[in-house]
Amino acid sequence: MSLEALVQDPTIPAESGPVVSAPYNESGFNSSVMTTYGRYPIAIERGAGCNLWDTEGREYLDFVAGIATCTLGHAHPAMVETVTRQIQTLHHVSNLYYIPVQGELAKWLIDHSCADRAFFCNSGAEANEGAIKLARKYAHTVKGIEKPIILTAHASFHGRTLATITATGQPKYQKNFDPLMPGFHYVPYNDFEAVKNAIAELDDGEHGVAAIMLEALQGEGGVRPGDVEYFQQLRKLCDETGILLILDEVQVGMGRSGKYWGYENLGIEPDIFTSAKGLGGGIPIGATLCKSKCDVFQPGDHASTFGGNPFACAVALTVCQTLEQEKLLQNVQERGEQLRAGLRAIASKYPNQIAEVRGWGLINGMELKADIELTSADVVKNTIAEGLLLVPAGPKVVRFVPPLIVTAQEIDKALVAVEKAMATATK
């Protein structure tokens, strides 16, 4: 069944199973699943393209995309074909053996980036863990630093493991999980002087800054793009000092910025960068990528049972190839410009409520004014009522991260829903 058929006729059941007719039993779910999420009262059953349907048959335009993950939307024919073929052929085998499609995926990523080597895992947090371990071993074995420190930014987000929530410069994610991992220090984002001061302060002969780990654009921190001059200054500083520059591309990479990688918008190349989310288009996979100079891992240093298995790699390779073959970067650039122009037009109608619209490609934020009661969660609740799914990026920023296949008509439809939601919020 084609994607077009599913989109044009939403009454067609998904191939994975029949449509549920009864309302979803939330209490039954909550009695069995840990309450680690504040869930909206919607039970999603199937999707096609940029559309989702809940168990009661209601249709939504999906501008969440699994939080910047469903690169090709839902039920994309290329992914369906690959998933079907690969599960019938070979879905998992140990990394004790060569996995040809893993090598093919690594080559695609290397050919389309500044990296020389790739390590595969299952998620963004794991990819960032790999980058942290790589930087620490590099510090010990190449730089001779006894107690390495990694600088990260305030308002950053790098994952939910103990090391990555420590790397995350947001106390709300760290509360009640102490003692946190040692070896991290926070600086303001886009502030070069703060970085220089921290390096001077922390270098005492025993401790030393081994790496600077940043997002090219802060996602969870409010969709805040990196400043070009700041990152170019950092690159020069790292070249002069031997400090590694690590970029977390988990949310902004894989074409979401309008280029394959966020760092391309900044005119620099990192030493290490990470990918996940959009890499597998919704199938779990992550990657730690690096230049050969910092590829210091040896057998036994790092591993992942499921990382880089044939199933995940085959799907990720299909996502990568489809991005290229369907020229989706151009669509991301054009639809991103259309979305920002539309949001700015809405902002001009609500100058007392909306402070700013910003972003790259198809990762954009609409920031509400700090001195009003209206929150991003309020706006998201109102857009859901209009059939549009959005996600907050902090208490005052509404995030727009649709699939990269989104059409001009779908952008227009989303903008209508946002304007209606703002009108409701300001009554």
Catalytic residues: 157, 248, 277
Listed residue (107, 127, 110) closest to 119, CA to CA: 127
- Beta-sheet strands, E only, within 58-183: 59-62, 117-121, 147-153
Mapped onto helix, strand or coil, the DSSP state of residue 62 is: strand
Q: How far apart are CA 316 and CA 99, in angstroms?
A: 14
Question: Which string of DSSP letters, residue by residue, matches 186-228?
Answer: EE-TT-HHHHHHHHHHH-SSSEEEEEEEEESEETTTTSEEPPH
* Contact status, residue 132 vs residue 288, Cβ threshold 8 Å: no
Q: In what order do the strands lie in the sheet with 51-54?
A: 44-48, 51-54, 59-62, 388-389
Residues 6 or more apart from 336 whose CB is under 8 A from it? Answer: 258, 359, 360, 361, 362, 364
E strands present in 258-362: 272-275, 286-290, 354-360
| CA nearest neighbour of 146 among 103, 183, 109 | 183
CA dihedral 7, 13, 16, 21 (to 10 degrees): 130
Both tokens of 419, joined, read 């304007």
Query: Cα(144)–Cα(134) distance, rounded to whole angstroms?
Result: 14
Residue 57 CB-half CA count within 13 A: 9
Taking residue 203's Cβ as centre, other Cβ atoms within 10 Å add up to 14
